[in-house]
Structure 1
Amino acid sequence: MRPFGRWPDPLVPLDIVLAVAVGLFVILTAPQVGSAVGTDTPSHLDATGYLLVITTAAALVFRRRFPDVALAVAAAATFTFVMLGYPDGPIYLGVMVAMYSVAVARSTRHAVVWAVVLAITYLVWLVVVTGQWTDALDTLGWLAAPLGLGVAVRTHGEARFRAVAHDRRRQVYEERLRIAQEVHDAVGHSLAMISINAGVALYILAKQESPQPQMEATLRAIRQAGNGALDELRATLATYTGQVSPPDQRPPPGLAALPDLVSATAVDGLRVHLDVTGVPNGVPSTVDHAGYRIAQEALTNVIRHAAAEHATIRVEYGPHQIELLITDDGRGGKPPNPAGSGLASMGERARALRGSFSAGPVEGGGFEVRAILPYGGQVVR
């Protein structure tokens, strides 16, 4: 069994059957059991008694959706039933079911408060009205038993729920690890081959008599980009596998690595200019890394889509934020692949830091990407 709050919909038909069963049991057994509290003669049900029994049973129909209301109605009808002198034996069954429902659906403290209030109310009535103490232990029994059972069921259900959630998280993690390993094996191999072939091409190019500086610069950029991407791929996979990074492994790239990014982007005749103002004092590593990734993705879009000759990266360090501006002189307009995730990824990185992001064409041609990354408790509106 699970806590009622975990069930998608209250099982009203089953509760109706339970309410009818409780009502019939009380009606059929009440006239034959003992006598009313404080009296010496048997007490039989009349119209009022039947109405109170039906009220107690009817409250159980709502015990899953409104357990507190069900317990309050059942307790009020039961106490009225007993105070009017009707047989008090089986009538407590309705309160016991309602008490169990509250213990399952609510916190332990909440259920204990209900049990204490009901016990005090009933015991005061026993002492003041009937002057009897003999039923005191019975009172604690018909409240403590369903309370303890309900708490046990709820605790067991919550433990099972946590176990299932933990198992699902573990399965998701294992699936991500498998995908990461597949990506590493496939992409890592391709990047390694790109780097090796670029190195071979550089070696052959160096043996030639006629210099080709543009081709050499392009090959060096390709090799540098391939090696850097392969290192980052390995570092990312290490976070999933729990492997310890070797001492010489570079930390996650930040804005200080932009010069290397600029040199690696010098392909297809694209010239990138880097302009940095301010001093990077106290910039958290998460902000620094996010800024680098935004600049990296923006330059990737310039190479793939803009057909630009010049691009500029401007980094302005402020006392509580970093402002990034990446512009180019390319075709501008909307991205040729609206379904791509590049712009969305950059925006998510900025908003995750409670910053702002904008991207779009500019007047006179070209495209502009602007991101403001706050830190130190600041929020960009």
Structure 2
Amino acid sequence: MLPAANAAASAVAWSLGGFDETPPTFDLRTGRPDPALFPLVEWRRCMTTAMQTAPGGYGHPAGIPALRRVIAHWVGRSRAVEASPDQVIITAGAQQGIDLVTRLVVTPGRIVAVEDPGYPPAAGLLAASGAQIAPVPVDSEGIVVDQIPVDSSMVYTTPSHQSPTRVTMSMARRRELLHFADDHNVAIIEDDYDSEYRHSDRPLEPLHRLDTQGRVIYVGTFSKTLSPSLRLGFVALPHSLVSHAIALRSLIDWQPPVTVQETLLPFIVDGQLDRHLRRTRKVYTERHQMVTDLVHEGAEAGLLVSPSPSHAGLHITPLLPTGTDEVAVVARVRANGAALGNHVQCWLRHDPPAGLLIGFGATPTARLPAALPALRQALAG
């Protein structure tokens, strides 16, 4: 079992990447969109409209009904998730959604299976809840289902774009996981954290759509598409959990901030979110190609091991040659003013392969040509 205090410290270290207060010259950490791409004018216009009247009293713990309807429609159109408005609960980012679900379906001491490597903040949260964490390997098709403990109460997975390996779970593996869940009465959290940013191929159907038994809880976020500072996300729950989730949410923080919800509502309805995604997808696709080229150059020089092909997300995860000191490489990169994601802390096993987490969301395209040489120099030693 992973101690809660260690899990929390690991998640913080993974997020900050060694830069606690002073921002890096080049931010190559993962999961960070470019603040310069935020649609400030459009967002301000929507917020101004939302503030035409004074804030009211307490709102609904699940979020304002109009936004729940709009998100249910939008996630159905954009991600093929079939959920009615009353199944949608607005959360403060994906992390609160995971926390809410964990409190609902996992009792302390029960086993929760997580991908290894995986997403440290989720593993840390689950451990802090008192769950026993069962690390499950990931291969080229996703989480290895036949290594999930049969007495697990829940599985946490990132099938659209596995964090951090970038693997897309195959359709066969998705069906295998759902059959496992049905056979052993297991809940599944499907964390779809950045599937909007696919650079070429089309996404497969989400687990939530394939699920016929109400076992999948779908978690979405606007942290990667808009900004993590907004703290906007949502969960799509099975009908059996909705009333319990609303009651629990009311005990935690009662409701999401109404003004931010009322800003997001017209932002989606008026098509601003779709336009923003089309614009930023082009930008991130260009950056993805620039970092991919660097990784291929490093592989040809024997400094990196090329990762499996992936065409989604805001990071790339190459491995380092056997025997390379990952910590030393990251320290050299940091000495050059650049911050990387923390690859080693994505692993729960004690002998993980050395690798790098290279994010390209936060560094402007014009600055990447200056940032990448710092990485090349660190790799060359």
Normalised by the size of structure 1, how large is the TM-score?
Answer: 0.23
More helix by share: 1
Q: Higher relative contact order by CA 8 Å / sep ≥ 6: 1 or 2?
A: 2
Work out which of the two has the higher radius of gyration on C-alpha atoms and give 1 or 2.
1
